[in-house]
Every structure is written in C-alpha cells, then in structure tokens.
C-alpha cells in the first residue's frame, strides 16, 4: 500500500502541468485526454483539406455515418497491458474525425452513450470488444477530431512478440444498428508490465504541434525505480510498430539518471518513502529525437523496453505523442 501511495503521489505532484483535461488516474498510470492544437496557420495536410458538411451529426441518417466518420486519416499506435493483476492502461483509444458542422460539445454529446458495443477486428478475427467508453473531441485544422477511449478487460487473442494490425472497427448502436469502418494505419502494441518497482512517472503530457514531413522533434520520458536490484548497465530500446516505420523513425536516443528530478521526488515524498526506498531511489530520463516521414497525423505510444531491475521489462507511456 505504501508503494502504491508513493507512485500515485509522484504522478499527482509531478504532472500538475499536464493537459487541463487529463484525468482518469488508475493505479500509478494516467490515461490522458490528450489535446490537439487548433491552429489554422500551421502547415496544411492534403488528407485533411476536405470540405466540412453543413449538416449536424444528429441529422444524419444511420446509413450515412460511414460517409462522415473516418478513422483512416490517422496513423495510430496504442498499447494494451496484459498483466491481469494490474489496472494500468486497461483502455484502448480509437482516433478519427467527423466531417459535420457540430461544435465540439455537440459532437461529444452525440457520440457519448450512442454505441452499445465497439469491436476491434484484425481481418476476420475479433481482437477485443468493449461496451463502455468515453469521448474526447478536439479541433484539427478546423475539423472535429475524436478519441473514443474504450474500457477493456481481455483481448480475445494476442501475440506479445508482435503488434496487432487493427483492420476494421465495428460500431453497434443501442438500437442494434451496426456499421463498420476500415483502417490501414491502426496498430495495437502488447506489453506486460512487471511488478518490480520500476514505473513511469512522466511521459509527454501535452500535444506536440503538427510537424511537417521530414522534420525532427525531441521528447522525453521519465521513470523512477526503488528496486534494490538496480542495474547500472541498463539499456533502453523504444519499439515502434514495423508498419509505422515508414511514417516515423527514431534519430537518436539517450538516457541518464536525473539528479534534479530525484531531488524533487525526495522533497515531495520525504515522509512517504521508507528509508530503504530513499536509499534505492533512482530517477531516469530518456530523451528521444523522432523524425516524421509522412504527411499524416500520427498518434504514437511506443513500447519502452529496458533492463533496470535485473529483468527485461516493457513500460508504456500513458499519454500519446501527437504530431
């Protein structure tokens, strides 16, 4: 209980600058309602320069949904934790856009509680189903982009060595009407977070402005460990789904102990940590330079593989990069 309290307090204290609408803290991982910038002066992307219809979503006929909703203009990598003993990252996000004239709040209300079941499929195989979700709406180049955050318990199948390509999403309404949307750029990464006292405390906590093709940008991930089996010779590897490597690549990666952040953690948690935890505390920051290789909008949550406590572990960031 003390460890859980420690980690939760770290997140609360260190992430107070996170996106103003981020919420839903589960154990020691935060599922963020990420925000995308509304900036019409930024570089334009050809696949988003489509005219917006003057019709509102609630005025659409059911059979028209497939003409106004798209989940294939985005390149998505999201994650799922298979550790049954952990409540971390038990959600999957679907990203897309709706080409109607609704303001964000109206579209949010129209999509909320509309679907009784949402099913992710890979070919003919069902990967997961969810009957519980919440909605985030934001603007991308004047259009309504949505995030449907699905609460899920179990995958129907998975292979921990490979990312699963989600090829279609089936939406079932409360009135039993169903429609399906295809996607070619949606990949589900699988990981199993070990209970070894190595936890992410910071991942990117706000959007990145839309990056032009062939441009680089830098971001950081920070994690802590109070494990006495600290491996000073640890290595870090960031995994991007192979099918996304035509759209984004890692230019460089470096990592080191973060003494400044460690002092902040020590001050904040001085009365929460045991003496042994204080002695074992290490805070590590990973700095990564990414390069964007395509014109599409990318939502990326890469697996971070490391050996920090004498065993191989995958840690998942709880906020996606958006660029």
Write the pLDDT tens digit of every residue in 94-145: 999 999 999 999 999 999 999 999 999 999 999 999 999 999 998 776 788 8
Residue 20 has pLDDT above 60, yes or no: no
Residue 69 forms part of a structural domain: yes
Whether 73 and 179 share a structural domain: yes
Q: What is the mean pLDDT of residues 295-306?
A: 91
CB-CB contact of 300 with 320 (8 Å):
yes
Residue 26 forms part of a structural domain: no
Most distant CA atoms of the chain, gap in Å: 64
Tell me the percentage of the chain whose pLDDT exceeds 70: 80
Looking at residue 274, which CATH number applies to its domain? 2.60.40
Query: Where does residue 285 rank: exposed (0-12), middle (13-18), buried (19+ CB within 10 A)?
Result: middle
| pLDDT, tens digit, 9 for 90 and up, residues 25-61 | 222 222 223 333 333 333 333 344 454 568 999 999 9
Distance of CA 127 to CAs 116, 140, 172, 181, 276, Å? Answer: 17, 29, 16, 15, 43
Higher-pLDDT residue of 249, 270: 249
Whether 171 and 52 share a structural domain: yes
User: Alpha-carbon distance 299 to 302, whole Å?
Assistant: 10
Last residue of a domain, one of 170, 190, 210: 190
Residue 265 forms part of a structural domain: yes
CB-CB contact of 155 with 80 (8 Å):
yes
Whether 165 and 298 share a structural domain: no
Whether 63 and 7 share a structural domain: no
Whether 14 and 87 share a structural domain: no
Last residue of a domain, one of 161, 190, 219: 190
Whether 119 and 215 share a structural domain: no
pLDDT at 1: 43
User: Alpha-carbon distance 225 to 255, whole Å?
Assistant: 14
pLDDT at 81: 84
Residue 284 forms part of a structural domain: yes
Whether 182 and 241 share a structural domain: no
Q: For residue 159, what pLDDT band results from cuts at 50, 70 and 90?
A: low
Domain ranges, residue 137: 32-190
Whether 162 and 131 share a structural domain: yes
Whether 57 and 91 share a structural domain: yes
Residue 85 forms part of a structural domain: yes
Last residue of a domain, one of 190, 207, 240: 190
Whether 162 and 45 share a structural domain: yes
Q: What is the mean pLDDT of residues 287-307?
A: 92
Q: What is the mean pLDDT of residues 247-256?
A: 94
Whether 186 and 318 share a structural domain: no
pTM score, whole prediction: 0.77
How many independent structural domains does the chain possess?
A: 2
b/e map 243-272, b = 16+ CB within 10 Å: ebeebbeeeeeebeebeebeeebeebbeeb
Q: For residue 161, what pLDDT band results from cuts at 50, 70 and 90?
A: low
Question: Which pair of tokens denotes residue 117?
Answer: 């079941």
Whether 37 and 126 share a structural domain: yes
Question: Which pair of tokens denotes residue 265?
Answer: 């953690």
């Amino acid at each position: 209980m003390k460890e859980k309290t420690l980690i939760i307090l770290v997140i609360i204290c260190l992430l107070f600058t996170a996106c103003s609408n981020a919420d839903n803290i589960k154990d020691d991982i935060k599922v963020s309602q990420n925000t995308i910038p509304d900036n019409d002066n930024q570089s334009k992307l050809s696949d988003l320069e489509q005219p917006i219809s003057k019709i509102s979503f609630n005025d659409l006929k059911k059979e028209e949904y497939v003409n106004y909703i798209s989940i294939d203009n985005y390149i998505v990598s999201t994650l799922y934790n298979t550790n049954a003993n952990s409540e971390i990252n038990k959600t999957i996000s679907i990203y897309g856009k709706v080409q109607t004239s609704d303001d964000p709040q109206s579209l949010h209300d129209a999509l909320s509680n509309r679907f009784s079941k949402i099913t992710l499929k890979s070919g003919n195989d069902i990967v997961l189903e969810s009957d519980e979700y919440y909605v985030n709406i934001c603007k991308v180049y004047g259009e309504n982009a949505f995030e449907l955050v699905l609460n899920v318990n179990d995958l129907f199948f998975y292979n921990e060595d490979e990312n699963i390509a989600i090829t279609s999403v089936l939406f079932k309404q409360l009135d039993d009407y169903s429609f399906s949307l295809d996607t070619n750029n949606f990949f589900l990464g699988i990981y199993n977070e070990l209970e070894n006292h190595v936890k992410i405390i910071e991942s990117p906590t706000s959007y990145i402005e839309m990056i032009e093709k062939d441009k680089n940008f830098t971001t950081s991930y920070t994690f802590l460990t109070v494990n006495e089996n600290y491996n000073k010779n640890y290595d870090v590897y960031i995994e991007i789904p192979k099918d996304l490597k035509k759209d984004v690549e890692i230019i460089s990666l470096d990592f080191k102990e973060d003494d400044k952040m460690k002092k902040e953690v020590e001050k904040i948690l001085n009365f929460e940590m045991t003496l042994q935890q204080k002695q074992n505390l290490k805070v590590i920051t990973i700095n990564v330079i990414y390069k964007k290789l395509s014109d599409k909008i990318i939502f990326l949550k890469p697996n971070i593989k490391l050996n920090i406590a004498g065993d191989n572990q995958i840690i998942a960031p709880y906020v996606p990069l958006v660029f």
